[in-house]
Amino acid sequence: MTVTGAAAAAASVLPGSTAWGAAREGRRRYALVGTGVRGNSMWGRGLVARYADTVEFVGLCDVNPLRVEVAKRDLGVSCPTFTRLEDMLGAVKPEVLMVTTVDAAHAECIVTALDRGIDVITEKPMVIDEAQCRAVLEAEKRNKKQIVVTFNYRYSPKHQKIKEVLLSGDIGTVSSVDFSWYLDTTHGADYFRRWHRLREKGGSLWVHKATHHFDLINWWLDAEPVEVSAFGSLNHYGKKGPFRHTHCRPCPHKTQCAFYRDITKEPRLVDLYVNCESADGYLRDGCVFREDVNVSDTMNAVVRYTNGATMSYSLNTFMPLEGYRLAFNGTKGRLEVRDFERQPWDVPEETEIYVTRNFGKREKIEIPKAEGGHGGGDDRLRDLIFRNPQVPDYMRLPGSRAGATSCLTGIAARKSVDEGRPVKIAELVSL
């Protein structure tokens, strides 16, 4: 099953896709704000190692003065460091700002950069609420600068393959989608150790995590969300736990707690967080049962899209396995995906994709092999941003509209849970 040249050409580009990088050659001046693990690795060392011919680091910034120095050492760069974004932008005048702070700070960083005429590459989620969303979209428009939102999931070969099967028309018009994402007691629990457990920092997992999934669906369906109905609850972490402490290191419940994590055995986390605690008090090994957890760990939503399709979506965070089940139900057949990331049994293949035609047979879809972070998506995304290779329109970089529509699905879901009613996207932001 391949996408023919004609089908690829006919595929429309989401209005949010951006022509980033077109006709740009040589090195550009990049600054980075938010030098935690993602900034350090994906957008720090990862660029120094592979993109020295196109990327020049001119400044690093983090509100934690110790962590920004760890980053400078890790990256091996000689640029100055800052604890205030305004100071950095004024002093080093970058052409592009890379935003990898906690989610709640993205919007302010993006608007500050755009208002100084600087293009922005931002980690997901672009924003965590509707007011931030409006502010970012208006700033982009008034400054005529560009935003790229780094939806790496789109760029793993398996996700590209799903897009191509849908574009081929083999299953007809998609009428509904079944999408269940499972986070396990390792990865899922880690959200509850960190700032992600607080809605005011990460917008809840409806926004922080599900923005990836909602973006994939918008892109796969070539559609945007219209209305969302959702339920969400806290069933396992936070105040639902049997005991609690501030964090793991001094915890009196170490021996009984299945979630105990000895961060002192992980040198990278010690460098980035433990050794920087004195500056901001942030505990990377926070207790998953702290009373202040104010996000759901169990989430279900139904979403209706501009093309009439609907999606049943769920996100569970304390499963014995990690991965997802996904199906597109079309007028001519069904596309089914089972993705295994981690589970306590062996699987022959990490991802299985099948197309079953109505009144016909089931066909197994071959997936190109991939290496690297996030199913190979991280490297392909960076190549697209920093090397600008030719790609079909449907693989072009996501821009602010994609950033907005994916976040707004989660923001609407969160509001639907809070208010016990369906929420229309148009109530939140006029796109």
Ligand X SMILES: NC(=O)c1ccc[n+]([C@@H]2O[C@H](COP(=O)([O-])OP(=O)(O)OC[C@H]3O[C@@H](n4cnc5c(N)ncnc54)[C@H](O)[C@@H]3O)[C@@H](O)[C@H]2O)c1
Whichever of 67 and 304 has its CB closer to ligand X, that residue is 67
Q: What is the 3-state secondary structure (H, E, C) of 271-294?
A: HHCHHHHHHHCCCCCECCCCCCCC
- Residue 283, by phi and psi: left (phi above 0), alpha (psi -120 to 50) or beta? beta
Whole-number minimum distance, CB 44 to ligand X, in Å?
Answer: 10
Whichever of 170 and 383 has its CB closer to ligand X, that residue is 383
Separation of alpha carbons 125 and 388, rounded Å: 23
Separation of alpha carbons 278 and 66, rounded Å: 9
Whole-number minimum distance, CB 230 to ligand X, in Å?
Answer: 21
Kindly give, in sequence order, each residue whose CB lies less than 8 Å from that of residue 238, ignoring residues fewer than 6 positions away: 192, 197, 288, 289, 290, 291, 292, 293, 294, 297
Whole-number minimum distance, CB 176 to ligand X, in Å?
Answer: 27
Whole-number minimum distance, CB 91 to ligand X, in Å?
Answer: 15
Q: Which residue ranges make up the site for ligand X (CB under 6 A)?
A: 33-39, 61-64, 67, 85, 100-103, 105, 123-124, 150, 152, 208, 374
Whole-number minimum distance, CB 102 to ligand X, in Å?
Answer: 4
DSSP state at residue 125: P
Whichever of 123 and 379 has its CB closer to ligand X, that residue is 123
Contact 232, 417 (CB under 8 A): yes
Contact 32, 44 (CB under 8 A): yes
- Give the nearest residue (CB) to ligand X: 36
Whichever of 208 and 414 has its CB closer to ligand X, that residue is 208
Q: How many CA atoms lie within 13 A of 162 on its CB side?
A: 28
Return the biggest CA–CA distance within the chain: 66
Whichever of 125 and 225 has its CB closer to ligand X, that residue is 125
Contact 329, 235 (CB under 8 A): no
Whole-number minimum distance, CB 233 to ligand X, in Å?
Answer: 23
Whichever of 45 and 253 has its CB closer to ligand X, that residue is 45
Whole-number minimum distance, CB 271 to ligand X, in Å?
Answer: 12
Two structure tokens written together for 194: 């960190």
Kindly give, in sequence order, each residue whose CB lies less than 8 Å from that of residue 428, ignoring residues fewer than 6 positions away: 130, 133, 408, 411, 412, 415
- The position carrying tokens 């060392």 is 45
What type of residue is 109?
C
Whole-number minimum distance, CB 260 to ligand X, in Å?
Answer: 21
Whichever of 102 and 165 has its CB closer to ligand X, that residue is 102
Whichever of 101 and 416 has its CB closer to ligand X, that residue is 101
